[in-house]
Chains A and B, each alone.
Chain A
Amino acid sequence: MKSIFGGVEEDFAHSRATWYAVMKEVAAKEGFEVKGEAKWLLNDTNFTNQAREARRAAADIMVISAHPFTTCGMLKEMARQGVAPKLLVGLTSSSSLETLQGCAKEAEAIIIPTSFAPVTPEAQAAADNAAKFNGSLDLHSAAAYENVMILKQVIESEGIMAKPDTLQDDRNKIRAGLAKLQQTTGLLGVTKRTPDREAIKPFLFVHAKAGKWEVLHNPLN
């Protein structure tokens, strides 16, 4: 596979940044021929022009950097126009149940790098707990779960009293406790922090198979 074409949700910051600042740049550096990109907006419903651009580009790899609603819209239009790249790659935030609810058939085989899949005993237990309440643990809700657990850890380690007269003191302690953290334990392992507090999380690759997300590659192993 030598060429790549992008599809990008132009009015959403992280969709744009993922394609323009990460995937497109890295693809060119790695020797892929970047054949351009088709653009659309978050609420768009008509993808005829964009799918035609993808068809004309006839790239080996198609990357869709968009949310599930428009990812599905574009995939459906690509299917109508017979656009069939050798490899289909999606945006992290599309590796959720939403994409499969919207277009499981068209999304079949799409590969997405993600920060969550139930690949550890802790992650499996959390996913099972969510399922008990008809929920689906995905990269978004797993991150929320981890955040709550981080707060729990800080509350316990900083000796938060949670009494009316310790309120201000408790707030300060929580802030200080969070600022002190250099790394935390997440569902997939250790999450480290950059100097400007960005998280560096363990990740893996999933792909859509028969209406489910399956782990394709797990660098943790």
Chain B
Amino acid sequence: MLLVDLAQSILDGVLFGATYALIGIGFTLVFGVMHKINMAYAAASVGGAYAALRLITLIGGPAWASLLIAAAVGGLFGLFIYWLCFRFIPLSNPLATLMSTVGMFLLAEEIIVHTTDGMPQNYPVVVGGILHLGEFMIRGDLVFVFACAILAMLILLYLLYRTKLGTATRAVSQQPIAAQLVGIRINQVNALTFVVTGMLGGFAGALIGSAVGLLSPLLVVPLTIKGLIVTVIGGLGSIPGAIIAGLLVGMAENVFQYFRGVTERDIYVMLLLFIFLVFRPGGIFSTTVKRD
């Protein structure tokens, strides 16, 4: 029974880690392009899911439609965050955008609390069902989240490496002045990056709402922390790294909880982060240890 439970814990953790991966991809994409952290990302993602849930409740419609609505609203939020927290703020000051997005994080959280009276909201099941394999149980919704994370990675990699927008984005990321000299509009590319990551965030927020079964302002802080951990472990700017790190963190959480209990679980996850920061600061897929 011990081995079965351990295997089930690993499986559950890996699948639940897909939700962390989706949030991590958003953090890492913005960092990859602008070399900035958008602290409001998870808050905006949950905000997109809330807006979708409100709309679906008001006008009716199937649960899966909430994913599309959340993506659209998330895109708008992304643009809004770019304009308010990055566009007119000196990017040369590393603290300026960090603080502006922290402010946006708090604002988004407050808006959620005030519009919902802080009440948890039941989120409809988008993909349900449980697959029973002998002693094992596999949640259909988490498999769906997992598939979505992989699909999101493939679409983003395609966008980045096979389209003009991707070429422009990479050019702005690597040599902003040279990119400007060849006629690339930096602000437009940055804004589009925020729209794309915002859409992914809204979609992720709705998927997380469906996987958790609830939306609550209490989701915002843990998702932000998990997103940041995943971004660092995966390697800042690495999309495949974010996916693997998300699954790894999800698994580590469940396994540490299984062996050491819930009160020690986060200590070990933070220790994992610390180990990566010390021995592999470039993240999972970095080839060399780049340290001062």
Contact = CB atoms under 8 A, between A and B. Distances in A.
Interface string A57-83: 000000000001100110010001100
A46 B12 contact: yes
A49 B218 contact: no
Contacts of A69: 120, 214, 216, 218
Given A39-B262, A101-B121, A49 B212 contact: no
Given A102-B214, A103-B214, A97 B119 contact: yes
A46 B120 contact: no
Interface string B207-246: 0100011101011011000000000000000000000000
A139 to B, nearest CB: 15
Interface string A26-63: 00000000000001111111101100100010000000
A203 to B, nearest CB: 24
A46 B213 contact: no
Q: How large is the interface on B (under 10, 10 to 19, 20 to 34, 35 or more residues)?
A: 20 to 34
A95 to B, nearest CB: 14
A170 interface: no
B254 A72 contact: no
Q: State the majority secondary structure of interface residues on B.
A: helix
B221 A43 contact: yes
A45 B222 contact: yes
B191 to A, nearest CB: 32
B67 to A, nearest CB: 18
Contacts of A214: none
A44 B130 CA distance: 21
Interface in B3-27: 5, 8-9, 12-13, 16
Given A45-B222, A49-B254, A80-B130, A102 B119 contact: yes
Contacts of A80: 130, 137, 139
Q: State the majority secondary structure of interface residues on A.
A: helix
A43 B222 contact: yes
Contacts of A56: 1
Nearest to A97: B119
Contacts of B221: 43
A11 interface: yes
Contacts of B130: 80
B122 interface: yes
Given A101-B119, A102-B214, A45 B219 contact: yes
B12 A39 contact: no
A187 interface: no
A42 B137 contact: no
A3 B212 CA distance: 29
Nearest to B261: A39
A98 B122 CA distance: 10
A68 B120 contact: yes
A52 B5 CA distance: 8
A65 B74 CA distance: 35
A72 B213 contact: yes
A103 B119 CA distance: 11
B253 interface: yes
A2 B1 CA distance: 25
A112 interface: no
A100 to B, nearest CB: 9
Given A42-B218, A46-B254, A48-B16, A102 B121 contact: yes
A104 B218 CA distance: 19
7 residue pairs, one from A and one from B, having the closest CB atoms: A102-B120, A48-B12, A76-B213, A39-B262, A45-B212, A43-B222, A101-B119
23 contacts: A40-B262, A41-B262, A46-B250, A46-B254, A48-B8, A48-B16, A49-B254, A49-B258, A52-B8, A69-B120, A69-B216, A73-B212, A73-B214, A76-B213, A76-B214, A101-B120, A101-B121, A102-B119, A102-B121, A102-B122, A102-B216, A103-B122, A104-B122
